[in-house]
Amino acid sequence: MKAQWNMNKILRHVRHDMLNDIQLLKGYMSLNQMDKVQGLIDKIIIEARTEGRLFNLRLENFAEMLVTYNWETHPIVVEYEVLEEPQDMSIYDNVITDWTTSFLAMLETNIDPMYEHNMTVSIELDGEDACFFFDFRGKLLEKETVEKWLHDNRNVNNLFVETIHVDQEEVCTKLTTRK
């Protein structure tokens, strides 16, 4: 079930994450571990820039889903990156959000709970179109289920899905927008 995110819940999560980072910074500074202080500051800056680029795509539902996904209890940890300068992709928001939500839900029901699972979503822009690369690493129960799902969901509205690689421990697929 999808959590309802209101401003209070969002601010509570953001504040919690920010306080964790501040506590880490204070700890590293008290131990005079300036290399770790600098590394954490760099990480915070990169995350803020990445999040800003994500929101500047104007994919409001998609951005909310990616940012809040790890705040809920899920067996997959999701990371994301926007590789180019953002542009307005709002016309694709609902279809990309629905496809990604369904893809993650399918994966969640087809993974071995004894393993660690990660998904990196990389967004690359090319003119008016965009490519969304989904790179899953973990342990699948049945790769055939994933292959069938990708085949059945390969052409949705103005999206084209290309399966790059599927095996028991990795799924790489590319979702391309097209006008």
Domains of the chain: 7-177 (3.30.565.30)
* Mean of pLDDT values over 131-158: 92
- Report helix angle 60-69 to 93-108, nearest 10: 30
User: Which residues neighbour 30 within 8 Å (Cβ) at sequence distance 6 or greater?
Assistant: none
pLDDT level of residue 11 (50, 70, 90 thresholds): confident
Percent of the residues in the chain that have a pLDDT greater than 70, as a whole number: 98
* Mean of pLDDT values over 54-72: 94
CB 89 within 8 A of CB 59: yes
What integer pLDDT is reported at residue 3 of this predicted model? 66
In this predicted structure, the answer to whether residue 127 has a pLDDT above a threshold of 90 is no
Percent of the residues in the chain that have a pLDDT greater than 90, as a whole number: 74
In this predicted structure, the answer to whether residue 1 has a pLDDT above a threshold of 60 is no
How many angstroms separate the CA atoms of 178 and 145, rounded?
27
Which contiguous run of DSSP H or E holds residue 99? helix 93-108
* Mean of pLDDT values over 62-84: 94
pLDDT level of residue 120 (50, 70, 90 thresholds): very high
How many angstroms separate the CA atoms of 123 and 135, rounded?
11
User: Which residues neighbour 101 within 8 Å (Cβ) at sequence distance 6 or greater?
Assistant: 65
Joined together, the tokens standing for residue 155 give 């052409």
Q: In what order do the strands lie in the sheet with 117-126?
A: 76-82, 117-126, 129-137, 170-177, 159-167, 155-156
